[in-house]
Amino acid sequence: MQHKFITTVLGTLKPNLLQSLAQVSREMGASWETSKVIKLDGQFVAMMRVMIDADKEVALKQALEQQFSQLTFVYAEYAHEAIHLSTECKLTLDCNDRSGLTHDMNEILNDLEISVDHQECYRVQVTSLGKTVYSAKLTLRLPENVTIALLISQLETLSDNIRIDVAK
């Protein structure tokens, strides 16, 4: 019987590391159904939904941890829930930076029960303006009861000088 679980791996990024992780997984009979990787300043975090025969799961985890002892592995059960999300949108938000902006944006998304598939936030000093500009790129899934217009109106409360672009 096939079993699914989520693996989070983190550590220092080295050449061919992700390919090596995938190779060990394949050799043990596992497949990565989906994965996300974030790389930042020589570090990485990867999340994978792994499918493997239930009787091989423990051996796979042991093999990964032994062969990649410099990495940290965290495992979670795969809990597939039927979430009714009607609309996916890609959103870019630009405004003057301020303390707590990312926190406040995430509070709005949480309050609206919006699922965040991808989020990148940047702060850039613009010397010609004498300001720091905040930019966020998000891929979101909206619940059936949340419209894009409602989302925009809530996000516009974050700053007086805000620009929001949405693509479906």
Domain ranges of the chain: 2-77, 85-167
pLDDT tens-digit map of 97-125? 998 899 999 999 988 989 888 999 999 98
The tens digit of pLDDT for each residue in 53-76 reads: 999 999 999 999 999 999 999 999
Cα separation of 118 and 76, whole Å?
20
Q: Which CATH number fits domain 85-167: 3.40.140.10, 3.40.50.300, 3.40.1380.20, 3.30.70.260?
A: 3.30.70.260
Q: Considering the domain 2-77 in this protein, what is its CATH number?
A: 3.30.70.260
Q: Give me the mean pLDDT over the 15-27 stretch.
A: 92
For residue 101, how far is the Cα from the chain centroid? 18
User: What was the pLDDT predicted at 144?
Assistant: 84
Provide, rounded to the nearest whole percent, the portion of the chain with pLDDT above 90: 62
Contact by Cβ (8 Å): 100, 159: no
Decide if 130 contacts 106 (C-beta within 8 A): no
- Shared fold status for 2-77 and 85-167: yes
pLDDT score recorded for residue 84: 58
**Which range (19-23, 78-82, 93-97) has the least confidence?**
78-82
For 42-67, b/e burial (b = at least 16 CB within 10 A) is eebbbbbbbbbeeeebeebbebbeee
| Average pLDDT of the residues in 155-166 | 93
- Name the average pLDDT for the chain: 90
